[in-house]
Structure 1
């Protein structure tokens, strides 16, 4: 099966290279414009949104959560894709209500240099974690961690994706996303039909875990519904695609991406649910799927992971280049500097694979928890239109969210037991609630203090006039 999967990887890689024209301008490399200066259309934008957010890690997480926690675990992960709905509202407010051309420009206007520093720090970590996690999935598919097959798969996959990403930048990413999404959908439909026809997709198998609000699956679903308000704003891949087309095309692309993504995640995650319902004691998910479905469905299962990993990686690299060169302005906005940035981010991602944490969900939970510092920004400054929130409120919320993310990491990894012996998702829920409540409190106090100074300001203005 590894040989068949390698052939598929090679085919997708060659096709991606052929579809990646060399970028001739900064607009093509960083803004995704065609050689004639045209913006991407609705279909390309929708498919690009979906395929870049249905990462290999996401598919595997949805299946694993279904395997351990039943349908509720898969639904919990699918709930994160409601981020497209809140993301659409965020983009519409930033671009068309407030008139900014990037999230960084909005934060700089509201909170100065600290606004962009904190944000760039969080999304920088997000980008590296995306590269690391998707490459890690590829390595796992081809061999045991540390084996020669594992090392070769990781390095080869990274090099091929980096080459065609460096060639065409965001324009190439959009073109390859369309092809990769079509291939992904075809394979997913075949896999779904195969699973249904095998007789394993019964109601009994899908509902083998009854709903209990205190179980990890439903608790994680609540966590997702809390984090979904801020999660899209900290994802540069999604946000970058919100600044490429006109208002109506952008709005429709987010709305269609939402339902398509949720459906795809549920369909794929259901394989994990079915495996969990028939697993023997101590049996791994892949072993169960192989036993009940056979070699061909498992090959299709793995192909979807490979295609989604490649589509996510090229988009992540494009956003990495834009972050360093355009948003942070660490280098002149040239194509060559963008390519250098891509190479550096890929190197950091590879270091994470060989040296970092191997828990796939830890990356999404960490970044999702850290992103909660943006929720008060969205509620008060973006949607509420408040321009007088003090910087200390922003920084206090940022430090709180960062501390919460680190606390969850050490608690879930078993390094500490400061929050007791509860399940890690129960701890994540408690941490998320505290960050949201205190963060909004910090913003409200800052707003009230500024209002209390208004009579003094008016008196001073009257005196000087």
Structure 2
């Protein structure tokens, strides 16, 4: 275990604790406002948006996809960050155009209790998967699965992040996000300069995989372009930040988060592309990068992953406590209940780390597919402002999206071969197309059924 990495992680954790003001009221804990009641400014909100979406799993996924599928694999993952554009439109419509205080309030108005139950189920799974994935990345960095160093790193990281998250809730998360994002940008800039000095970041290396629309990278770009319409709505961390500031600040934060995130993800993914272009047969990505770049760049590489994991985990825990106490109203929204909820989600994440699937992209693909039940909701009920969509359309759409997510999981993990022997991303594309088309047809059919007369007209004598 690298002592330099341990020192760096400890320093970031200590600073994060000091930056986390202890919340004295449930409003400060759940609302994200300062103790004086002020909402976050543009810089804080933008950086919080970016750093909570550029999480460790994302960075590692972008690099791994670049390693195997070249520039097109990295661009496919970067394409998911166009979700900030659709997310901005969703928030603007829900909050400022139609006047709802949350996504749950909008869904309850359109589809009643079942509208929020289905939604809360999907985002609850999403939050647990985020806790799991970011803790898992830390374990991967510090040791072999099951080793003492792996177990110790996972446990310590989870406990340290939980402690400072419990201090101040959402406002503390925003403050630490700002610090962690600035540090992340400095480290990413330094890492890029070091890589450039090695002469490895060349156009030849970046284009070592030619474009072929049937290859996994380009196919995954198409998948991302299908899923970004609904993906932001099922991410409670992004949606929560859409209800904190005024309209102009909120809109600008989403727009700036789009280009900043896209550049950061593409830049980090390029390191994986370099490794893919220079890898020896059977060599792992990290081993290739260590051989090409040396110890200092790899230390920065790992530190950026740790910082992004920490910034995402604290935000995920804040959203989890808000979901259970405020949005679902399962418990009273008090400080103690919010902190207990955070601890429960950390325990659930740890259980998945030690017993769950180790494929990091699976969580993205599965949750992204499940979220596609929201696409017709957005197209018809939100942007189309239709209030006549029946509940059966909503529930049927939810059912086929969950079925699609489950099918992709079993197909990609090799448990089933119902879709043949094509690449798992090709399967994901067809599943995503089917779920999207099927959901829109169900909403259209429901809309048409509402327009038909329910009784026969009286006979005129």
TM-score (norm 2): 0.98
Q: Distance in 2 between matches of 1:333 and 1:14?
A: 28
- Matching residue of 1:98: 98
Q: Distance in 2 between matches of 1:102 and 1:254?
A: 17
- Matching residue of 2:182: 182
Structure 1 residue 351: Cα displacement: 0.4
- The secondary structure found in structure 1 opposite 2:242 is helix
Q: Distance in 2 between matches of 1:227 and 1:197?
A: 37
Is residue 275 of structure 2 the alignment partner of residue 265 of structure 1?
no
Residues 402-421 of structure 1: pairs in structure 2 closer than 5 A: 402-421=402-421
- The secondary structure found in structure 2 opposite 1:20 is coil
TM-score (norm 1): 0.98
Deviations along 1:142-181, one digit per CA (max 9) or x if unpaired, are 0001000000000000000000001100000000000000
- Matching residue of 1:288: 288
Q: Distance in 2 between matches of 1:452 and 1:383?
A: 23
- The secondary structure found in structure 1 opposite 2:333 is coil
- Matching residue of 2:37: 37
Q: How many residues align?
A: 458
Residues 298-317 of structure 1: pairs in structure 2 closer than 5 A: 298-317=298-317
- Matching residue of 2:173: 173
- Matching residue of 1:225: 225
- Matching residue of 1:109: 109
Q: Distance in 1 between matches of 2:339 and 2:293?
A: 43
- Matching residue of 1:356: 356
- The secondary structure found in structure 2 opposite 1:245 is coil
Q: Distance in 1 between matches of 2:154 and 2:229?
A: 34
Structure 1 residue 197: Cα displacement: 1.5
Structure 1 residue 2: Cα displacement: 1.2
Structure 1 residue 333: Cα displacement: 1.2
Residues 185-200 of structure 1: pairs in structure 2 closer than 5 A: 185-200=185-200
Q: Distance in 2 between matches of 1:36 and 1:295?
A: 45
Q: Distance in 1 between matches of 2:381 and 2:192?
A: 44
- The secondary structure found in structure 1 opposite 2:297 is helix
Structure 1 residue 327: Cα displacement: 0.3
Residues 49-60 of structure 1: pairs in structure 2 closer than 5 A: 49-60=49-60
Q: Distance in 2 between matches of 1:31 and 1:43?
A: 18
- Matching residue of 2:9: 9
Q: Distance in 2 between matches of 1:5 and 1:270?
A: 22
Structure 1 residue 453: Cα displacement: 2.5
Residues 100-179 of structure 1: pairs in structure 2 closer than 5 A: 100-179=100-179
- The secondary structure found in structure 2 opposite 1:104 is helix
- Matching residue of 2:87: 87
- Matching residue of 2:340: 340
**Structure 1: runs of 5 or more not aligned:** 461-465
- The secondary structure found in structure 1 opposite 2:77 is helix
- Matching residue of 1:254: 254
Q: Distance in 2 between matches of 1:180 and 1:408?
A: 34
- Matching residue of 2:319: 319
Q: Distance in 2 between matches of 1:305 and 1:342?
A: 22
- The secondary structure found in structure 2 opposite 1:280 is coil
Is residue 78 of structure 2 the alignment partner of residue 63 of structure 1?
no
- Matching residue of 2:388: 388
- The secondary structure found in structure 2 opposite 1:243 is coil
Structure 1 residue 98: Cα displacement: 1.0
Structure 1 residue 49: Cα displacement: 0.2
- Matching residue of 1:26: 26
